[in-house]
Chains A and B, each alone.
Chain A
Amino acid sequence: MSINRRTFLQRGAAGAALFTILPRKVLGKMGGANDIIAPSDQLTRGIIGVGGIGRSPQHFVSDQSCRMVALCDVDQNHLDAGVEAAKKTFNETVKAYHDFRELIHDENVDIVHIATPSHWHGIMAVEAANAGKDIMCEKPMTRTIGEGRRVEEAVKRNGRIFRLDTWFRFKDTFYGLGTDVRPLKKLVDSGLLGWPLTVRISGATGFTWKFFWTGKENLEVQPIPKELDYDFWLGPAPYKPYNVHRTHGTFRGYWDYDGGGLGDMGQHYIDPVQYFLGKDDTFPIKVEVDAPQQHHDAVGTWRSVTYTYEDGCKIILEGEGYESAGKVPYIEGPKGKVYKGFECTIPNVMEVINELPEPAPRVTDFLESVRTRRQFALNESNGHHSATIVNMGVCALRLNRTLHFDPKTQLFLNDDAANRLVFQPMRGEWGKYI
């Protein structure tokens, strides 16, 4: 195969008028292969970041419908291991990149899978969208509210399909609830619990905030390992002397790259809540925190973070060790409560739920989204909304005060300092990428 698929595609498109890129299907037919998956109908994927989640069994896959064709990492050991595993597991000779920009602009890559620490998510997603790639991004969507806005804009502007990778809003048992989110959604929509609702995400309702993802103060300065391009790993983050605890696996404990358990698990837990509360197109207007003072660099623990929506709905996060005592409802409304294990104060609740219509259908297969160009169930828009809830909490923790938010402008009210955290500067030239 001397001619690659993309070059072929571009040649095919070269003569076409503006706004007409030939769809893959047409190309498949041009290739004369109607009944098999033509190379042009087969999707391809490149993964950026193959140290942790990018190398996990659920993501390190390659098959007929979507082939893994490229990997990228700034840790040479991770990259080498990934390339070898691709060969061994799928017999795929993948392209290996050190610079994610090369992977994104590799014309053989259809889908860019971003599996780096979250300080890179915004830049990479915007770059991928601008390059005309569809995107799968690990949670949390972005590290700041401002970056999230840019991702949403870039995805829309470039007509891309974006999937944020958490899934509890459409499948799987929902942590302590012992059920998927569907019956919760039906129950909330039914109005049987009354309104407004308070949702408590706490150890007492079946969640854990993973406080072991806290950072360390007074980090020693250590030599940078040979295999790691630390300067590139930091990228847009402020330069700080190397210590192993900043990177791989424990990066979540530092504000520059993530936000501890809240930053990293928050969207997992909060996104389904946003869905069943029907808040996919708005934001809370207030966030309050109860926490020890936070270090400027190392993420610490907290006792509670409370979000309030304009209509009075609340989401309360309770830190590990600070859970409400006694029997605590997961969802509490004026007319009813739902506890861990879907125990409910409404008699015969499952029967009541069964009598209600199912929630509206959504596309929950990412490759189907890419093929049909229909929005994925968790996308650049609702994903940005739930990431913003997390990031509002991060801002309030770092400033140690109550913050008020304007859902229209996506800025904090009467607090310039808080808004400095909405848009944060980027080191070197990385700011140009977003």
Chain B
Amino acid sequence: MKKILNILLAAILMMTVSMPLSAQDDRQRTPETIVQDVLALMPTQNQSDFNREMNSLAQAAPKSIELLVAMLQPAEKACNNKVEYAISGVVAYASNTQYRDAVKEGLANSISKTPDQTAKDFIQQQLRLFSDQNDVEYTEHEGAAPYAAAYDKLKSLGKDAGAEVVKAVKSKDHAYRMQALKFATDYNLVNDELASQVAKKYNSCKEEGKVDIINWLGDNKVTNQKPLMMKALKKGGAPAVAAIEALGRVGGQDAEEALIAQLGGEYNEQAFAALQSFNANLDEKVASSLSTATGAQQLALLKLADSRRIKKVSGQVFDLLNNSDAEVSKAAREALSGVVTNKDASRVASLLDKANNDELAAYKNAFDACLNSLNNNEKFQAINAEMQKAQNKDRFYDALAATNTDESVEVLQQANNDAALKALMKSSNYKASAPLLEAAKNGNEEALNAYVALVNANEGNKDNRYNLLAEALKLAKNSDAKKNIINSMAETPTRSAFITVGEFLNDKDLAITAAYAEKQIQAKSLDDIEVDLVKKNLNKSIDALKARGAADDMYAVDAIKKALAELDESSPLYVLSDEEKKEGFEVLFDGTNLDNFVGNKTNYVPINGAIYVTADYGSGGNLYTVKEYRNFVFRFEFCFMRPGVNNGIGVRTPMGVDAAYDGMCEVQVLDHDDPIYSGLREYQVHGSVYGVIPAKRIKHKGLGEWGTEEIRVEGDHVTVTVNGEVIVDGDIREACQGHNVDPNGGDSNPYTVDHRNHPGMFNQKGHIGFLGHGTGVKFRNVRVLDLGDKDAKLKSKSKSKKK
């Protein structure tokens, strides 16, 4: 497909009168050139590019349009996308500019030259955007008689439709009646007069009609028909139910009273719902009613006081706690949490301390509610004070844990019992993780889940979080705990997580969870992951999702298939440029294997054509060239996948030592733009000969972008070139005036910029090494030119070059 387009472009090129491609002024470019330039940019990625390119095409219309249309190929060839982008783009752009007519003319002129019906249809549709009026004529349909006829009549009457609406209310046809009433609502015809005329029909209506009228009055909040609603309420039946809802909508003191009177009665449920949404302050009325109410009404009022948070009645509710009727005292206890305030805390705490088992939950809620208005520290103080006074201290643990304060964790840890541990599981303070992990290690899965939740909420560094989760996964026994951790790993999208989670794709209880996690990790991965591994695990994920086949599963399958289609499967085998080949460079890493390296091949792994540091490996070892070098030119590309990446290139270094000191030097590799390095010293920035020669500070390319680097070492001379710019060019012996170590034998060396001794600085020869310990950096196209062991001549050569 690509080929066909290239041929097309070549054809256009041949037609073109040669003009500079960079010409900015469209009047100096021929339409052919403009078309060709625009096509090369299709589709544009943002509005300003779009406007600029389409403006060029539009200015060159109609000719540019004719050229584009002539490039359309028959549908079978399936190659038209760029031309289509250009045509539909310029049409969209021009449709609202002065170029409208010229573009339209271009389309009209060339429609006969289209290769097939598909192309013709496409141009016709584009032309349509220029038409001056709607080319859609809507037909009036017959509609569902008699409704449509009635509606048309109502509509034709406009503001005078009221009388028809009133007539319709008497209709026995439910749908028609409601249609007419709805019409009045939709067209704002409802006023007191219309409402009263409709209300007059109420008595003569059957029950269903009565319900409709009441509903309609309520929906329109017709206040002065409240008497009718009240009447309906008194009479009972379906209209009464409608009246309760209507009164709730209409509001007002009389409605409030009527609804409260219904509490505990036949329509208790409906009245309660209406009062929950009643848009007024109910405090006074609920308080006065509660003082006289009995039985079911009293119970409902308590529930309402709780639901509407009527603090005013707290005294009454406290009194009712001791009511001889067990049902009433229970209702009062349950209502307590809705009515208490901070000043009730001690009273509730003492109730909580003395409560029997049945009462515990309600008093715990009430105690929590008392503290609602305090901040966490105040809460801790208050709870701790109450707890000191109490006999049953464990009853305060949950409240304590909920403060999430450091002190609460300490107190609970000191309590050192099951109840305290259970409470710690509810804390969101990260300090609780230590005791929880310990409990998890002793087999407590609940503690494990709580621990995982804490890690998820508090560990911001995704690599650290992955490590903690991987440890937790080893402790998980049942599949719910494993699911929980797999789901958490989905939020740490690293290659390591992809591998770990992939192991569960064959587990029949966990395959679906793992499949969703793999999908998410792959989509958001901070690392490159080997294409083969991605394919293997994602295909397994598809199988698992298809096997269950719920609606969301199929969405996920679609998403995974798209991800698989977008995988870059090309294997970029690196080969030297002709020039470098001639100079004598050797490839150290061609994208496939680390045969030219020794050392830590566990954490340095070839992935999709790059050497990737896959995990934080601490001091677990670096990667070194097999060969040792003295004078050399070392070239490579580097790419940061995480902010703040830190690595380095060791020069003339033995293996297994700190190359910055025991090697000749370390050339720093560092994402020094990350804010965590704001306190960086100048000899630590990227490219610096660490501790010896500071580099000129550059601005790195963004994450995921490749930079180029060359390190040239000749004798004592080091030159570092990054992205084509020389940032270090100096002699290390001169830099420390020949004193790589303190001449007095001390630990501090006044001659080096880092005041450290560099005993390896004058090593004769050594390995080149990648020195790091953290994940997230990639290297590729690594090659070296060995300049041999004799350096005097070379050195002077390089010096003369410098001048």
A130 touches B555 (CB 8 A): no
B280 — which chain A residues lie within 8 A by C-beta? Answer: 357
A357, B278: Cβ atoms closer than 8 Å:
yes
Is the CB of A125 closer than 8 A to any CB of chain B? no
Q: What mask results when residues 330 to 374 of chain A are scored 1 for a CB within 8 Å of chain B, else 0?
A: 000000000000000000100100110111110000000000111
A156 touches B128 (CB 8 A): no
Do A130 and B143 touch across chains, with their CB atoms under 8 A apart? yes
Chain B, residue nearest A359 (CB): B277
Which residues of chain B are near A418, meaning CB under 8 Å?
96
Q: Write out, one digit per residue, whether chain B residues 136-150 have a CB within 8 A of any chain A CB (1) or not (0).
A: 111101111011111
In the complex, A276→B137 CA distance in Å?
A: 36
Most buried by B among A131, A132, A290, A296: A296
CB pair A19–B95 under 8 Å, yes or no, is: no
**Separation in Å of the A384 CB from the closest CB of chain B?**
13
Q: Which of A272-291 contact B (CB under 8 A)?
A: 289-291
Q: Which of A130-161 contact B (CB under 8 A)?
A: 130-132, 146, 150, 154, 156-160
Q: A89 contacts the other chain (Cβ, under 8 Å)?
A: no
B273 touches A217 (CB 8 A): no
A296 near B212: Cβ-Cβ < 8 Å: no
B768 to chain A, nearest CB (A): 37
| Known A19-B171, A159-B175, A416-B95: A212·B277 in contact at CB below 8 Å | no
Cross-chain contact B92 with A399 (CB below 8 angstroms): yes
Question: Is the beta-carbon distance between A239 and B179 smaller than 8 angstroms?
Answer: no
Q: Are B277 and A361 in contact (CB under 8 A)?
A: yes
Question: DSSP majority for the B interface?
Answer: helix
A431: interface (CB < 8 Å): yes
- Which residues of A (222-269) have their CB < 8 Å from a CB of B? 238-241, 249-250
Residues of A within 8 A of B792 (CB): none
* Residues of A close to B128: CB separation below 8 A: 420, 425
Task: Select which of A19, A360, A381, A432 is within 8 A of B176 by beta carbon.
Answer: A19
Quick check: which of A20-28, A37-45, A64-72 contacts chain B, the rest being far away?
A20-28
Q: What per-residue 1/0 map shows which CB atoms of A287-311 lie under 8 Å from chain B?
A: 0011111111100100000000000
Q: How far is the CA of A220 from the CA of B309 in the complex (A)?
A: 65
Q: Which A residues are CB-close (under 8 A) to B601?
A: none
Contact B276 A150 (CB under 8 A): no
* Cross-interface CB contact of A221 among B78, B177, B249, cutoff 8 Å: B78
The A380-434 residues at the B interface (CB cut-off 8 A) are 381, 398-401, 414-420, 423-426, 431-432, 434
Rounded to whole angstroms, the CA-CA distance of A293 and B195 in the bound complex is 55
A129 at the interface (CB under 8 A from B): yes
Nearest CB of chain B from residue A340's CB, rounded to whole Å:
13
* A289: min CB distance to chain B, Å: 8
CA distance A241 to B309 in the complex (A): 64
Contact A159 B136 (CB under 8 A): no
A230 to B599, CA, bound (A): 62
A360 contacts which chain B residues (CB < 8 A)?
A: 249, 277
Chain A positions 98-140 with a Cβ under 8 Å from a chain B Cβ: 126, 129-132
Known contacts being A19-B168, A217-B84, A295-B81, is A131 close to B144, with CB within 8 Å? yes
- Assess the B245–A373 pair: CB atoms within 8 A: no
Do B50 and A20 touch (CB < 8 A)?
A: no
Residues of B within 8 A of A131 (CB): 144
Q: Is the CB of A156 within 8 A of B186?
A: yes
Partner of B173, one of A23, A126, A374: A23
Quote the shortest CB–CB distance from B191 to chain A (angstroms): 19
| CB nearest to A360 among chain B residues | B277
B residues 77-93 near A (Cβ < 8 Å) are 78-81, 84-85, 87-89, 92-93
A375 CB–B CB distance under 8 Å: yes
Please judge, given known A-B contacts A238-B125, A360-B249, A373-B175, whether A416 and B93 are in contact too, CB under 8 Å.
no
A154 touches B141 (CB 8 A): yes
Which of B44, B138, B308 is close to A292, meaning CB atoms less than 8 Å apart? B44
**Which listed residue, B148, B171, B172, touches A157 by the CB 8 Å rule?**
B148
Asked if A56 is an interface residue, CB under 8 A from chain B, the answer is: yes
The stretch of B469-477, B556-564, B691-699, B706-714 that contacts the partner chain? B556-564
Counting CB contacts under 8 A, is B122 at the interface?
A: yes
Once bound together, how far apart are the Cα atoms of A18 and B171, in whole Å?
10
CB-CB contacts of A195-233 with B at 8 A, as 1s and 0s? 000000000000000111110011111000000000000
A2 to chain B, nearest CB (A): 26
In the docked arrangement, what's the CA distance between A25 and B172, Å?
A: 11
- A425-B136 in contact (CB<8A): yes
Task: Give the distance in Å from the alpha carbon of A22 to the alpha carbon of B146 in the complex.
Answer: 12
Contact of B75 among A56, A221, A415 (CB under 8 A): A221
Which residues, 7 to 33 on A, are CB-close (under 8 Å) to B? 18-23, 25-26
- Contact (Cβ within 8 A) A420 B141: no
**Nearest chain A CB to B630 CB, angstrom units:** 47
Task: Check if A293 sits within 8 Å of B278, measured CB to CB.
Answer: no
Are A398 and B248 CB-contacts (below 8 A) given A21-B173, A159-B144, A220-B78? no
Beyond A23-B173, A292-B43, whether A423 also contacts B152 by CB under 8 A is no
**Beta-carbon contacts of B212-250 to A below 8 Å, as 1s and 0s?**
100100000000000000000000000000000100110
Chain A residue contacts of B245, Cβ below 8 A: 361
Which of the residues A220, A293, A355, A398 comes within 8 Å of B308, measured between beta carbons?
A355
Contact between A218 and B47, CB atoms less than 8 A apart: no
Known contacts A22-B173, A217-B84, A221-B78, A401 near B47 by CB under 8 Å:
yes
Can you name the residue of chain A whose Cβ is closest to the Cβ of B152?
Answer: A157
- A431-B134 Cα distance, complex, nearest whole Å: 12
A160 vs B144: C-alpha distance in the bound complex, in angstroms? Answer: 9
- Is B288 an interface residue, CB under 8 A from the partner? no
Say whether A293 contacts B141, CB under 8 Å. Answer: no
B182, CB-defined interface residue at 8 Å: yes
Query: For the complex, what is the distance from the CA of A182 to the CA of B609, rounded to whole Å?
Result: 52
Contact present for A213 and B143 (CB under 8 Å): no
Question: In residues 279-313 of chain B, which contact A (Cβ within 8 Å)?
Answer: 279-280, 307-309
Residues of A within 8 A of B95 (CB): 399, 415-417
A212's partner among B134, B144, B561 (CB-CB below 8 A) is: B561
Question: Inside 8 A of A361's CB, which chain B residues have their CB?
Answer: 245, 248-249, 273-274, 277
A22-B172 in contact given A417-B92, A420-B131 (Cβ < 8 Å):
yes
User: Is the C-beta of B578 less than 8 angstroms from some C-beta in chain A?
Assistant: no
Asked if B121 and A400 sit within 8 Å, CB to CB, the answer is: no
Task: Evaluate contact between A126 and B84: CB separation under 8 angstroms.
Answer: no
Residues in chain B near residue A20, CB distance under 8 A: 171-173, 176
- Evaluate contact between A297 and B78: CB separation under 8 angstroms: no
Most B C-beta atoms less than 10 A away, residue of A359, A361, A418: A361
Query: Any chain A CB within 8 A of the CB of B1?
Result: yes
Chain B residues with Cβ below 8 Å from A291 are 47
**CB pair B279 A23 closer than 8 Å:** no
The reply to whether A423 and B148 contact each other, CB–CB distance below 8 Å, is no
In B1-30, the 8 Å CB interface with A consists of 1
Known: A157-B151, A420-B128. A130 touches B144 (CB 8 A): yes
* Distance (whole angstroms) from the CB of B218 to the closest CB of chain A: 10
Given A19-B168, A218-B1, also A295-B143 (CB < 8 A) = no
Interface residue? B118 (CB, 8 A) = yes
Report the minimal beta-carbon distance from B282 to chain A, rounded to whole angstroms. 9
Q: Which residue of A lies closest to B80 (CB)?
A: A218
Residue pair A425, B135 in contact (C-beta under 8 Å): yes
Q: Is the C-beta of B373 less than 8 angstroms from some C-beta in chain A? A: yes
- A186 and B83 CA atoms in complex are apart in Å by 52
Least Cβ–Cβ distance between A89 and chain B, in angstroms:
16
Nearest chain B CB to A174's CB is how many angstroms away? 16
| Docked pose: A216 CA to B168 CA in angstroms | 54
Would you give 11 A-B contacts (Cβ < 8 Å), ordered by A? A20-B171, A21-B176, A23-B174, A126-B141, A154-B141, A292-B44, A296-B126, A348-B373, A354-B307, A357-B308, A401-B96
Known: A159-B179, A357-B279; 19 extra A-B contacts, CB below 8 A, are: A19-B168, A130-B144, A156-B151, A157-B152, A159-B144, A159-B182, A212-B562, A220-B78, A239-B121, A241-B75, A294-B43, A295-B85, A360-B277, A381-B186, A398-B92, A401-B92, A401-B96, A416-B96, A425-B135
Sort A-B residue pairs by CB-CB distance and give the 3 closest, nearest first: A159-B179, A132-B144, A417-B95
